[in-house]
Amino acid sequence: MTAERNQYDGVDALLAAITDEPLPEAALADAAFMAEHRAATADVALLREQLGIIGHALSQPEPQPEPEPAPKPVSSLRPAPRRHPGLRALAFGTLATAVVATMITGLAWLVAHNGGMNADSSSSADQGAKTSVGSAPADGSATPGALADPELYVACSRLLVEGTVTEVKPGSDPRKRITLAVTRSYRPAHGPADVTVVLAAGAQPAPRQGQHVLVGVPKGSDTATLWVVGDDAVATDSAAIVEALAGPGTTTCPTG
Amino acid sequence: MLRRKARRVQEDDDPLDAAQERRVRAVLALGGVPQADLPDGVQQVRLRLLERAAKGDEAPRDVSAWAAVVASNLAMDWHRAKRRQERVGERLASLRQLEHPSGEDTSVLSLAVAQGLDELPDQHRQVLVLRFFADLPVRGIAEELGIPEGTVKSRLHSAVRALRDRLHEDEVV
């Protein structure tokens, strides 16, 4: 056998690891060669593992987009004012889900979700969660969520508060119970210092202690349908609520 | 006629079982076949197998290995035909969830490997996938591709060295 530099019979440590063929005796006795062979073997094993992971990931069928919910807009609704982007609710979960609660008059409440859950939504609370839903798309092709009408949402809320998350507890079902130290109460006008709300499973961003949030719970429900996180997003939507509260107050909730 | 026969046969006796189909999809994807074209690619592999049977050729000893080679050749043909080739790294990065037992660090590594794959010459990428994803031995790859073993070894050596160098430079390993 000939031992060229780092090779035995034309096979270096890397090729030996690639082919996984038995090593000659002389190579086994060569400490430097064996050290290189061990390193190459480890890298080859890692490569094999990664190709398996990547291949598995890429061969998954693409998730089907959620069917668009078919809301039944009520003609008495005023169109969403364009003065501000409207209140935003966050998408729940990485796949878009729609939660529709049909009210007595046939008004469909939507917590519309866009599919844009991406890294932005997991950014720090200070940067704000900008998963924006509920506003009418430019082409008007989809019915905006109910939160596109701040006056209506305010009118139909039993709780609408801004505050800081102090506690997150799992519930008996997949939902979570969030306790807030309230910094500002919109509904009711003078509420308690602390409130506990139920957040739907998969709400994004996931609730965490210390988050600055805006939360809304509609009448007749125990689950929040408005979950806004981050200084910027909360500031924008709070401004919309304040404007709605300062309005003529002629909007009434169809459910009473 | 072959497609009609393929549909009839597929209903009665699919030449690829679920695991083999999954493997074929993965080899196609690793070879840069776009996600949207994977079902078509799988069907092409099925048809090749049926054509082989129709010609009276003996069935492959190892259908999985044979299917992996056919899929890898199809992936190369896809690229040569100037069809849109999907960069594996971009596709991986766009996936919302990547199953990793160890979280973010592994995800960074997977992306680096995927990007390295994209940078390999097609022939190197092909043998790399056949050796380390489809687990074909060097001799088997050489026989199936109809090339010398030395050529397979040379391509593998170049491919693995390029990936190793990249991963070490990127400091992901």
Q: Does one domain contain both A28 and A124?
A: no
Identify the band that residue B155 occupies on the pLDDT scale cut at 50, 70 and 90: very high
Give the nearest chain A residue to B156 (CA atoms): A18
- Residue A62, chain B, CB below 8 Å: the answer is yes
pLDDT of the residue at B1 = 45
Nearest to B30 among A58, A94, A118 (CB): A58
Cis peptide before A65 (omega within 30 of 0): no
Total domains in chain B come to 2
Would you say residue A46 lies in a domain?
yes
Give the domain range for residue B46.
Answer: 1-85
Nearest chain B Cα distance for residue A153, angstroms: 32
Total domains in chain A come to 2
pLDDT higher at B83 or A20: A20
Smallest CA-to-CA distance from A99 within A89, A90, A109 is with: A109
Domain boundary among B85, B111, B128: B85
Q: Does one domain contain both B93 and B31?
A: no
Domain boundary among B85, B116, B149: B85
Q: Do B96 and A94 touch (CB under 8 A)?
A: yes
Would you say residue A78 lies in a domain?
no
DSSP letters, A64-116, are PPPPPP-----TTSPPPPSSS-----PPBSSS----EEE-TTSPEEE----S-
* Across B16-43, average pLDDT: 92
Q: Under 8 Å CB-to-CB from A115, ≥6 apart: which residues?
A: A65, A66, A91, A95, A96
Q: Mean pLDDT for chain B?
A: 84
> Residue B103 — left, alpha, or beta (φ > 0 → left; ψ -120 to 50 → alpha)?
left
Q: What phi and psi, each to the nearest 5 degrees, are found at residue A20?
A: 60, 35
pLDDT higher at A162 or B163: B163
Question: ipTM score of the complex?
Answer: 0.80
Query: Residue A209 belongs to a domain with what CATH number?
Result: 2.40.50.140
Q: What phi and psi, each to the nearest 5 degrees, are found at residue A160?
A: -150, 105
Q: Does one domain contain both B171 and B96?
A: yes
Q: Under 8 Å CB-to-CB from A53, ≥6 apart: which residues?
A: B98, B99, B100, B106, B110
Task: Please write the tens of the pLDDT for every residue from A228-253.
Answer: 888 878 878 887 787 777 777 677 77
Q: Does one domain contain both B10 and B92?
A: no
Smallest CA-to-CA distance from A92 within A107, A108, A106, A110 is with: A110
Nearest to A47 among B95, B106, B163 (CB): B163
Identify the band that residue B103 occupies on the pLDDT scale cut at 50, 70 and 90: low
Nearest to A18 among B22, B114, B160 (CB): B160
Residues pairing with A229 in the sheet? A213
Domain boundary among B85, B105, B137: B85
* Across A142-162, average pLDDT: 69
- Residue A41, chain B, CB below 8 Å: the answer is no
Nearest chain B Cα distance for residue A234, angstroms: 26
Cis peptide before A63 (omega within 30 of 0): no
Task: Please write the tens of the pLDDT for every residue from A188-197.
Answer: 776 777 888 8
Q: Does one domain contain both A206 and A113?
A: yes
Quick check: A255 and A249 in contact, CB under 8 A?
no
pLDDT higher at B14 or A221: B14
pLDDT of the residue at A80 = 53
Per-residue tokens: A142: 């989809």
Would you say residue A35 lies in a domain?
yes
Give the domain range for residue A162.
Answer: 100-246
